[in-house]
Chains A and B, each alone.
Chain A
Amino acid sequence: MMASQHSVARPLLIGPNQFLIGYQAQREWAWLIACAFFFGKVGAGTFLLSYLIGFKLGALVGLLAVGVLKTTAHLLFLGRPARFLYALRCWRTSWISRGIHGIGIFLVFGALYLSPEVVSFVPDGLARACGVVAALAAVLVMVYDGFVMKASKGIPFWDSYLMPVLVLCYALLGGTTVTLALQVISGEATESSLEWLQVAMLVLNLVLIGVVVFSARVRSAAAQLATALLTRGPLGAVFLVIAVGVGIVATGALVTVSLASGSHTALVAGAMTDLVGHFFVFFSVLRAGLHPPIRPLALTGMRLVGAAR
């Protein structure tokens, strides 16, 4: 007599204190880290692009986004925020430490670069030199988050050199849209080269998201499962609808309208949709971070249950 075969619904994703072999979702880096990443990239990107076109208001907004919003998000997240200066110690090995050095240099030299607008005792030559240092530090602030993710060996989905590339490209896109929106709001003529850079970055970021998702599908089982989370269920809705749909498709449509008609309203609206998408891209990527099982899983009979996120 043949034995009946039952496929047991064992969870692939296991929750905290559920002592089974399976994938475990990281639950620590969420809203506040997503905010810190977002403000850091957009702020540093805005500073860099505004610096390159000599738009001081944009540089100031970028500096404040990093100096106030990013640092506040980080300090709110830390378990022991009063000790944050200890994080300067391990710059030889830790990307977080390098990033904090970069933020410090960026804030000090960025403030010196902008200081002639407020005080008269800083020579213009010194301010220009400080601007160069601040711009270089801004690049580090833009990109270090990606290296922090790359260094997270416990999360195979993040452990890819595509992360710093994605982070850098999003920082450039965010910086471009915010700089253009600020030019419109402040009544200045928009920089046409930035408008075309915005279009190019939108296309590049869409391609990059595709590359990140598809490369993860062939890299490891944990990365593959992370992309399944990204494209299905509640997180899939956030990623596909808000991050990609609003952040890239809607932004692209609004930017096209803006370029075709010269509509400033469409340009500012495009900046808003881009920023919303930008935040949720990295929020989704953070939430899709999965730790691999400590032993290889026999996938027979297993399904995506227990994935309450």
Chain B
Amino acid sequence: MTRWGMVIDLDRCVGCNACTVACKIENGTPPDHYWARVYTEETGTFPETKTTYVPALCNHCADAPCVTVCPTGASHTREDGIVLVNDKICIGCRACMMACPYSNRFFLRNGALETGYHGERTDYEDYKWSLFTEGTVTKCTFCAHRVDDGLLPACVVTCPTEARVFGDLEDEDSDVSVLIRERGGTQPLSELGTNPSVYYVEGR
């Protein structure tokens, strides 16, 4: 059984936000919905400081708390491990947003799609936003529409430093499994027991 996952190499990420933009272009997400984004982490005290760029997206957890709390079944996990929201039955209660420890869900307010990014909606916005339903919750889909066609997620394809690697976590020989094994991949907030499908590696 396939379980799609991603490994993000923090040593490679340069914080260019190409993934953020690629996600926006591919999915046409509305304003303030950043399914893929890059956090800046500053550590240390001047002059011994360090900046680390931490790309983030939905972790598609194997034990996703957002799925458990959803009263309608709108939040669901596919057989390949991708967690999706069915916007046809989401009621917009936002319990999933409270349950997600990673703040990876976004509420699309009623009226949010009435105008485009810069006033009047473009043809692109007309088309892309027709795929969204106001009053529901949105989230990263791991580009399920691309994955189903045998393609990689947009954020992975666009990354200029190849910091993001996508593959099957159940396949021991896949690039992601090898990276996790050899570089000691860690899951974000693993202590919560959500078993994310996104791993980070760093400290080459």
Chain A residues proximal to chain B, CB less than 8 Å: 3-8, 10, 16-17, 19-21, 24, 26, 28-29, 77-81, 83-84, 86-90, 93-97, 100, 148, 151-155, 158, 289, 291-292, 294-295, 298, 300-301
Contact = CB atoms under 8 A, between A and B. Distances in A.
10 contacts: A5-B46, A79-B91, A79-B110, A79-B135, A79-B136, A80-B136, A148-B95, A154-B101, A291-B102, A291-B103
Given A21-B40, A80-B136, A96-B71, 5 more contacts: A19-B37, A96-B69, A152-B69, A291-B101, A294-B102
Contacts, number: 151
Interface string B81-116: 000000001111111011111110001111000000
Contact of A153 (B39, B41, B194): B194
B32 interface: yes
Nearest to A21: B41
B98 A298 contact: no
Interface string B71-86: 1111000000000000
B112 to A, nearest CB: 10
A80 B90 contact: yes
Contact of B95 (A3, A17, A94): A94
Interface residues of B, number: 52
A13 to B, nearest CB: 12
Nearest to B102: A294
Contact of B91 (A4, A24, A80): A80
Interface string B41-63: 11111111100001010000000
B99 A100 contact: no
Contact of B68 (A83, A94, A155, A292): A94
Given A80-B135, A80-B136, A294-B189, A8 B71 contact: no
Contacts of B41: 20-21, 295
A28 B97 contact: yes
B193 to A, nearest CB: 8
Given A154-B65, A154-B100, A294-B54, A96 B95 contact: yes
Given A8-B45, A151-B99, A292-B189, A78 B135 contact: yes
A20 B192 contact: no
B35 interface: no
A35 to B, nearest CB: 15
B71 A87 contact: yes
Interface string B28-41: 00001010011111
Contacts of A294: 39, 54, 56, 101-102, 188-189
B99 to A, nearest CB: 5
A97 B73 CA distance: 10
Given A90-B72, A292-B101, A83 B40 contact: no
Contact of B107 (A6, A28, A158): A28
B169 interface: no
B91 A84 contact: yes
Contacts of B107: 28, 79
B68 A80 contact: no
A290 to B, nearest CB: 10
B97 A81 contact: no
Question: What 7 A-B pairs come out closest when comparing CB atoms?
Answer: A79-B92, A79-B135, A97-B71, A152-B98, A87-B71, A86-B72, A96-B71
A3 B45 CA distance: 11
B70 interface: yes
B125 interface: no
Interface in B160-200: 188-189, 192, 194
A217 to B, nearest CB: 18
B91 A301 contact: no
Q: Which of B70, B136, B188 has the most CB of A within 10 A?
A: B70
B73 A80 contact: no
B11 interface: no
A143 B54 CA distance: 39
Nearest to A77: B93
Q: Which of A8, A24, A151, A294 has the most CB of B within 10 A?
A: A294
A78 B97 contact: no
B39 A21 contact: yes
A5 B44 CA distance: 10
A308 to B, nearest CB: 17
